[in-house]
Amino acid sequence: MHKLVLATNNRHKLEEVAQMIGDKIELLTLADIGFTGDIDETGTTFAENAGIKSRYIFEKYNVNCFADDSGLEIDALNGEPGVYSARYAGTHGDHEANMDKVLKSLEGVTGRKARFRTVISLIWNGQEHLFEGTVEGTIRPGRAGNGGFGYDPIFEPDGYTITFAQMSMDEKNAISHRARALNGLIHFLESVD
């Protein structure tokens, strides 16, 4: 079984990824390899930010690893919050303030088309491989649901009448942007010896 480090300190992301990967890969955390710091995401795209994190861990610990960068892109806001999704309202990880800012920015706007996008950067034996996943949807005028994290309570995926936050983790993982990118990663790992 392949061992692979997931370069994140985000507990929610770890839970989602662990559930999706199951027993296909031995998933190690940053804590498992003794890393407790933060890695600055200074890129201007999801691919750049994911690559910064995965390369940093590979170069420092010489372990196969992957990192992702994800965010919400809203057409009416010219793709914002995009790579700034986690800190859109100013403070990193303040989900309530971030949602408030989005909802206020969209007051009176009828076109609320949006998508979640994930890019995974895998460093495998020193080579970078990128995997991308998106899920299209719309931004609801208010919050609904208590599950998930981030913008999940205001994002309704196409084909559904509920938000990500109203879905079980299994339901969300079946269609999410992260699941789609992870499926590409898993297929790649199944093809290597």
Q: Which residues are catalytic?
A: 69
DSSP string, 52-84: HHHHHHHHHH---EEEEEEEEEEGGGTT-BGGG
Alpha carbon 87 to its chain centroid, in Å, reads 14
Between CA 15 and CA 77, with CA 152 as vertex, the angle to 5 degrees is 130
Rounded to whole angstroms, the Cα distance separating 10 from 92 reads 12
Rounded to whole angstroms, the Cα distance separating 142 from 106 reads 11
Both tokens of 164, joined, read 């990500």
**Contact yes or no for 113/119 (Cβ under 8 A):** no
Taking alpha carbons only, the member of 155, 177, 146, 162 closest to residue 20 is 177
Taking alpha carbons only, the member of 18, 22, 25 closest to residue 3 is 25
**Contact yes or no for 113/101 (Cβ under 8 A):** no
